[in-house]
Amino acid sequence: MTLTLPSPAKLNLFLHINGRRRDGYHELQTLFQFLDYGDRLTFSLREDDRITLSPSIPEVPDEDNLIVRAARLLAGCSPSPLPGVQIDVHKVLPMGGGLGGGSSNAATTLLALNHLWQLRLPEDKLAELGLALGADVPVFVRGFAAFAEGVGEILTPVSPPEDWFVVLKPECNIHTGKIFSAQGLTRDTPRIKIAPAFEGDASRYRNDCEDVVCRLYPEVKKSLDWLSQFGPARLTGTGACIFGRFPTESAARNIWESRPSGITGFVAKGVNQSPLHQKLAELK
């Protein structure tokens, strides 16, 4: 049996860091929205019990890959032996881009294998397993745009406008740990309530990682400055990707076509239900 599913990107429409916990993790508030753009994973059950991945990611051993870790974590929830699985990845999301590619891959793996292995674990359990893999995994497991708090795992469904986005990927990879440990990082942004996140002056909301990332990575600042000519532009997550919001596809594509040479990225629509969950709904 074979199953192919999307593994979509996300944007942090804003990211406020409210404090630092004793365990070193940061308390934050952020607004997640999915994009109709991302990786694609194909899962094929094997006759043996091996979990295999193709292609491997250079410099990332398979046993450290979130896809393989998610599959093994889920397999450990079964009281009886399970068939193995071959996982083939069509990768378009950049590593270190702040688009949640690895977390999205992990969530797609949990949901796909819960279906293929007929484990019938509830979504709450899958989200719990996902949190053990990374703070962003639960939002991909849940599959709805969300106002997130805590370390990103406390999720409240929201419905931001499903606009179009130009997403730029500067030529650098950013390690999340490096940004969250930076001395100049703002960690005392006052908490907000959900409703104000959609009201009033959007310029009040920002990405608290942006100044640090721009200082450490001039390529990011260059892309941010260029896209900001056409309206508010912002870093997603800890970077490196920059996004600008536009009301129509034609407006977004016109900006995209005018980009300087050497800038990579894509145009995509924001969606409040994950493309992964749209596809899973078709299987029921």
3-state secondary structure 173-231: CCCHHHHHCCCCCCCCCCCCCCHHHHCCCHHHCCECCHHHHHHHCHHHHHHHHHHHHHC
Domain ranges of the chain: 1-284
Q: Which of 49, 124, 136, 269 is catalytic?
A: 136
What does the pLDDT read at residue 198? 56
Decide which of 3.30.230.10, 3.30.420.40, 1.10.390.10, 3.90.180.10 is the CATH code for 1-284. Answer: 3.30.230.10
pLDDT (tens digit, 9 = 90+) per residue, 33-53?
999 999 999 999 999 999 999
Catalytic annotation on 91?
no
pLDDT (tens digit, 9 = 90+) per residue, 163-216?
999 999 998 888 888 898 888 898 989 998 875 555 444 556 899 999 999 999
pLDDT (tens digit, 9 = 90+) per residue, 109-163?
999 999 999 999 999 999 999 999 999 999 999 999 999 999 888 999 999 999 9
Stated pTM of the model: 0.94
Catalytic annotation on 163?
no
